[in-house]
Amino acid sequence: MLGILAGLKQEAHLARQFFPEARIALSHACEAGAQRALSALLDAGVTELLSFGCSGALDAVLPPGSVQVAEYVQCEDEIYRSDPALSARFGAAQAAVRGGILHSPVMIGTAAEKATLFDQTGCHAVDMESGLVARSGLPFAVLRVICDDAGRDLPPAAIEGLKDGQIHVPALLGSILRHPSQIGALMGLGRDAARARQAMAHFLQGLPVAQG
């Protein structure tokens, strides 16, 4: 049985649309939430895992909408190889990006941090779930789409405006009131996130594993 670990509710909705038989759990974009979600999947008896959803680019050449089926996950100083057969099922041959993805327990918010991490690790992207999936001991694959590019500093509301895995309007508005200059950056991030979701949906439509 397939278990899918995603970050946000929009990602889970997309996964449920294409993988209706899978067990899906949400990290709510935090380390403790990811641990709880993974434990729930393991308790449900899943036999293989997919880390799914959005990621942040570390490689400056990757635009939003780039789909990655990662060959490995770097978590701290350890490298975990994804399962080749499972990765093939989830479109490794069709993905624009292979290579590595970095696990981070916190959201990486600045272009300077992204550049440093790329130089240190060579990983193309970063997320907050793949390391836990990789350490589970089960066969795993990583299917992610770039939502923000490496050259962007995330606006404060991208972090402050989230609650329980989705946009929390009061927190979002509060962040905008405190930092009104971020509105343009937020609009750009929203456009890129929509582009990423469309790219992932288009990618999934072409996968035989997602057509049943």
Give the pair of three-digit tokens for residue 81. Answer: 């190889």
Can you tell me the mean pLDDT for 188-206?
90
Range with lowest mean pLDDT among 69-73, 77-81, 190-194: 190-194
What is the pLDDT, as a whole number, of residue 208?
Answer: 84
The neighbouring-strand residues paired with 163 are 166
The neighbouring-strand residues paired with 25 are 5
What is the pLDDT, as a whole number, of residue 159?
Answer: 64
% of the chain with per-residue pLDDT over 70: 87
Residue 210 confidence class, pLDDT cut points 50, 70, 90: confident
The upper half-sphere exposure of residue 99, i.e. CA atoms within 13 Å in the direction of its Cβ, equals: 18
What is the pLDDT, as a whole number, of residue 162?
Answer: 60
Q: What are phi and psi of 19, to 5 degrees?
A: -130, 65
Per-residue pLDDT for 165 more than 60? no
CB 174 within 8 A of CB 200: no
- For the chain, the DSSP string reads -EEEEESSHHHHHHHHHH-TTSEEEE-TTSHHHHHHHHHHHHHTT-SEEEEEEEEEE-STTPPTT-EEE-SEEEETTEEEEPPHHHHHHTTTTT-SB-SEEEE-SS----HHHHHHHHHHH--SEEESSHHHHHTTSS-EEEEEEEEE-TT-PPPTHHHHTEETTEE-HHHHHHHHHH-GGGHHHHHHHHHHHHHHHHHHHHHHHT-GGG--
Can you tell me the mean pLDDT for 78-85?
97
Can you tell me the mean pLDDT for 68-78?
96
Can you tell me the mean pLDDT for 71-78?
96
Residue 163 confidence class, pLDDT cut points 50, 70, 90: low
Per-residue pLDDT for 35 more than 90? yes
Give the pair of three-digit tokens for residue 89. Answer: 């099922």
Per-residue pLDDT for 212 more than 60? no
- Computed over every residue of the chain, the mean pLDDT equals 89
CB 131 within 8 A of CB 55: no
| d(C-alpha 186, C-alpha 141), whole Å | 31
The CATH number, out of the four listed (3.30.390.50, 3.40.309.10, 3.40.50.1580, 3.40.630.10), of the domain defined by the range 2-210:
3.40.50.1580
